[in-house]
């Protein structure tokens, strides 16, 4: 690995990689300044190429629920590596992972592995269209489901950060098949089905949004979505790539007691390595090739290294049951931020659930995309850099969720609360 400092690495990267990064939000365009490069990570801490240690509230955008470089996960990868990196044939890890996913998520009767969350949502949409024989889908403004063409319309995540919620390169004909509705608005959903009778193949949503910052569903909203989709014979797809296994063993659907038709997963089931999965009712999943007419494939699907890491991660979740502890840690950070904001007289909202939360610098209660966008992004940028100077790394965008791990307990959470409070006091 190069021994160069972050500024030199970024200069080299900009000559060869668009924007100098391989995922847009990493470029710090939303908060200003230049990104640092990470040399290593352990527990709750990143070590930069410049030798700085930072308490990390990004956690690889979700996977590191046990902290970085956990010894059990590292050992599982090492053991799998000794047997080979990829086979192009079925392997035992695939069966074990499928059994674990089905045991954690009762709504999933059969599951197909793939290599990313984007691939999972893209494949779930194709499957829903093939199953129903319909073309149109409904998504909600601010929900990010990866960068496939049908779903990159009014998206969240980096698309919001960079002001391009509708990406160039997405054909208008594709966009016309996607109906975009406001989140937490049951009347809009009713109207969309009334306006498109017999045409909606699926409704896809993040049941709790993580890609415009964290937004929780209003009481009864998800239940209404389930009732309408069941009535209209449309497939309900929960994108739990972020929330799956992180907010509870069975994701948001367990918390809300809802059974979707299909669920998209990722992040945690790879233990930090690239992975995705989608699964649900056997009747629908059996439409996939080789049993049915809906084609989906991938050379690296079920990669043994990724699944070995994910299996170790899920078994740790079973053993440790960290959810109550993670909720306590999240509340500590949110409460510290809110107390500092009240003292300073700064408007702040801090929605969260368990180990996912956000800070929005706005007077509005955040419940959808427009209220999230009312947050003062410039003020967040100043807050971000004050925290970074104090040794705490936050998502480099006002419109992304924060993540905690069980490794944040003790000194890390104490220091983080101090830094967050001080940063707000200095605004």
Q: Is 50 tagged catalytic?
A: no
Residue 143 to residues 107, 112, 221, 241, 351: CA-CA distances in angstroms? Answer: 22, 23, 15, 12, 16
Q: Is 261 tagged catalytic?
A: no
Task: Return the closest-CA partner of residue 143 out of 207, 81, 54.
Answer: 207
Task: Return the closest-CA partner of residue 121 out of 88, 156, 91, 92.
Answer: 156
Question: Which of 93, 131, 144, 393 is labelled catalytic?
Answer: 144
Per-residue 3-state assignment (H helix, E strand, C coil) for 359-402 = CECCCCCCCCHHHHHCCCHHHHHHHHHHHHHCCEECCCCCCCCE
Secondary structure element (H or E) that encloses residue 280, with its range: strand 276-280
Please name every residue paired with 48 in a beta bridge, in sequence order, or none if there are none. 38
Task: Give the whole-angstrom CA distance, residue 137 versus residue 207.
Answer: 16
Q: Are 213 and 400 in contact (CB under 8 A)?
A: yes
HSE-up (13 A, CA, CB side) for residue 270: 25
Q: Are 113 and 102 in contact (CB under 8 A)?
A: no
Q: Is 166 tagged catalytic?
A: no
Of how many residues is the chain composed? Answer: 427
Residue 131 to residues 32, 262, 281, 287: CA-CA distances in angstroms? Answer: 46, 12, 11, 7
Question: Which of 56, 267, 368, 399 is labelled catalytic?
Answer: 267
Task: Give the whole-angstrom CA distance, residue 45 versus residue 410.
Answer: 13
Residues 6+ apart with CB under 8 A from 299: 86, 88
Question: Which of 56, 185, 239, 261 is labelled catalytic?
Answer: 239
Q: Are 98 and 111 in contact (CB under 8 A)?
A: yes
DSSP letter for each residue of 286-307: TTBTTTSSB----TTTT-HHHH
What Rg, from alpha-carbon coordinates, does the chain have?
A: 21
Give, in degrees to the nearest 5, the angle at Cα 184 between 420 and 394.
Answer: 20
Secondary structure element (H or E) that encloses residue 339, with its range: helix 323-344
Q: Residue 171, Cβ neighbours under 10 Å: how many?
A: 8
Q: Identify the burial level of 42 via C-beta atoms within 10 angstroms of its C-beta, where 0-12 means exposed, 13-18 middle and 19 or more buried.
A: middle
Please name every residue paired with 37 in a beta bridge, in sequence order, or none if there are none. none
Task: Give the whole-angstrom CA distance, residue 419 versus residue 411.
Answer: 12
What one-character DSSP code corresponds to residue 49?
Answer: T
Catalytic positions: 144, 239, 267
């Amino acid at each position: 690995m190069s021994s160069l400092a972050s500024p030199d690495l970024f200069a080299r990267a900009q000559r060869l990689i668009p924007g100098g990064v391989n995922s847009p939000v990493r470029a710090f365009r939303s908060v200003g300044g230049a990104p640092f490069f990470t040399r290593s990570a352990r527990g709750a801490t990143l070590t930069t190429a410049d030798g700085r240690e930072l308490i990390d509230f990004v956690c690889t955008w979700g996977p590191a629920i046990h902290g970085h470089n956990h010894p059990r996960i590292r050992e599982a990868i090492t053991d799998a590596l000794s047997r080979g990196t990829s086979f192009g044939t079925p392997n035992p890890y695939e069966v074990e992972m499928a059994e674990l996913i089905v045991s954690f998520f009762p709504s999933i009767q059969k599951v197909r592995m793939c290599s990313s969350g984007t691939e999972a949502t893209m494949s779930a949409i194709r499957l829903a269209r093939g199953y129903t024989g319909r073309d149109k889908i409904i998504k909600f403004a601010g929900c990010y489901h990866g960068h496939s063409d049908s779903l990159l319309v009014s998206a969240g995540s980096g698309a919001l950060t960079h002001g391009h919620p509708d990406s160039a390169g997405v054909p208008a004909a594709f966009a016309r098949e996607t109906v975009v509705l406001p989140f937490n608005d049951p009347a809009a959903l009713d109207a969309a089905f009334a306006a498109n009778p017999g045409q909606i193949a699926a409704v896809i949503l993040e049941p709790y949004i993580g890609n415009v910052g964290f937004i929780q569903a209003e009481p009864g909203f998800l239940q209404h979505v389930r009732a309408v989709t069941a009535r209209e014979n449309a497939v309900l797809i929960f994108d739990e790539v972020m929330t799956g296994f992180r907010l509870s063993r069975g994701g948001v659907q367990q918390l809300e007691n809802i059974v979707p038709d299909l669920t998209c997963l990722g992040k945690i089931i790879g233990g930090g390595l690239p992975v995705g999965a989608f699964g649900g009712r056997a009747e629908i999943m059996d439409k996939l090739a080789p049993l049915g007419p809906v084609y989906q494939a991938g050379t690296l699907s079920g990669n043994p290294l990724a699944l070995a890491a994910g299996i170790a991660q899920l078994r740790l979740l079973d053993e440790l049951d960290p959810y109550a502890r993670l909720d306590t840690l999240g509340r500590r950070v949110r409460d510290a931020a809110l107390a500092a904001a009240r003292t300073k007289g700064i408007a702040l909202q801090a929605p969260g659930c368990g180990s996912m939360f956000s800070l929005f610098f706005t007077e509005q209660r955040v419940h959808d995309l427009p209220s999230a966008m009312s947050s003062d992004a410039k003020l967040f940028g100043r807050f971000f850099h004050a925290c970074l100077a104090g040794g705490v790394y936050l998502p480099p965008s006002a419109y992304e969720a924060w993540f905690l791990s069980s490794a944040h307990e003790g000194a890390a959470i104490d220091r983080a609360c101090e830094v967050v409070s001080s940063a707000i006091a200095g605004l």
